[in-house]
Amino acid sequence: MSVGGILGESWKLYTKFFTRFFVIAVIVYLIVNLLEAILATVLRHGSGAATLLALISVVVSIVGTFWLQGALVYAVADVRDGRIDTTVGQVFERVQPYLWTLILAGILAGLGIAVGLILLIVPGLILITFWCLLVPAIVLEDKHVGDSFGRSRELVRGHGWTVFGVIIITAILSGIASGVIQAIFSFLPRFFQYWLGGSIANAVVGPFFAVALTLMYFTLKELKESAPATAPPPAPPAPPAPEDPANG
């Protein structure tokens, strides 16, 4: 497994099923970013409803974000064979039973990574690498919160630098692409910059990261399953046969 191999395969799948991934993502981002755009407008005018709206926006954002992450993972798993076998509605329905597990695991991982980044930065980057496959482990293997952390770590073990490289390169490229797309909508009023510009940018960029992580999950899973079992230790040499007294 190599960084270039994962990114190249991800790009092929992403471009082939771009419309599919974009539609799934934009549905969620239009809702989440609409609330954030309204909140930004309300805060700008100093309305007393800002606190309530902020709480609603946070809740919707958390639920929407993790629901979307799970949906994109399942969507990638669905199209790996080269065809689409589910509707968009079925993709979201498939993830619904895992939603609260995704939210809890995501919040715990976020807190741990944040503490690691604040303290020494390096521990946070290590945790990002170890825990990057939490969502596939939950959605595709039905892992519970605690088990998902261990499963992600188990898959990444032995390939940490490659996984870290995929994460960093994908994050940098995604950030650049998102900035360029949002700049295209800079002529719009601020409200529509937040809502439409942000939603389209996120819906274009976000799925690629999900594709890369999900394909990396499948690649690592196949590598672990195909690895030969550890050979048993060689048997100790047999003791020498006793000498025959008659020949002494």
pLDDT score for 209? 87
Residue among 12, 6, 5, 25 at smallest CA distance from 204: 25
Q: Which residues contact 29 (CB under 8 A, 6 or more apart)?
A: 64, 68, 198, 199, 202, 203, 206
pLDDT digits (tens, 9 = 90+) for 65-75: 788 888 888 88
**What is the SS3 string spanning 83-136?**
CCCCCHHHHHHHHHHHHHHHHHHHHHHHHHHHHHHHHCCHHHHHHHHHCCCHHH
Place of tokens 């064979």: 81
Find the mean pLDDT for residues 172-191. Answer: 85
Cα–Cα distance, 33 to 194 (Å, whole number): 7
Report which of residues 42 and 212 the model is more confident about. Answer: 212
Cα–Cα distance, 248 to 244 (Å, whole number): 7
Find the mean pLDDT for residues 206-223. Answer: 87
Find the mean pLDDT for residues 41-46. Answer: 61
**Cα separation values, 65 from 27, 58, 72, 212, Å:** 11, 10, 11, 17
Q: Indicate the pLDDT class of residue 181, thresholds 50, 70 and 90.
A: confident
Q: What is the pTM of this model?
A: 0.77
- Residues counted in the chain: 248
Cα–Cα distance, 84 to 63 (Å, whole number): 25
Lowest mean pLDDT, pick from 43-47, 198-202, 217-221: 43-47
192 has a pLDDT exceeding 60: yes
Q: Please, what sign has the CA dihedral across residues 193, 174, 95, 77? A: positive
46 has a pLDDT exceeding 70: no
pLDDT score for 50? 59
Beta-carbon-side half-sphere exposure of residue 241 (alpha carbons within 13 Å): 3
Find the mean pLDDT for residues 227-246. Answer: 54
pLDDT digits (tens, 9 = 90+) for 75-88: 888 888 888 888 88
Average pLDDT, the chain: 79
pLDDT digits (tens, 9 = 90+) for 117-173: 777 677 778 888 888 888 888 888 888 888 888 888 888 888 888 888 888 888 888
Contact by Cβ (8 Å): 33, 202: yes
pLDDT score for 82? 82
pLDDT score for 242? 55
pLDDT score for 231? 46
217 has a pLDDT exceeding 70: yes
Cα–Cα distance, 37 to 31 (Å, whole number): 10
pLDDT score for 90? 86
pLDDT score for 34? 81
Contact by Cβ (8 Å): 39, 57: yes
Terminal-residue alpha carbon distance, the chain: 64
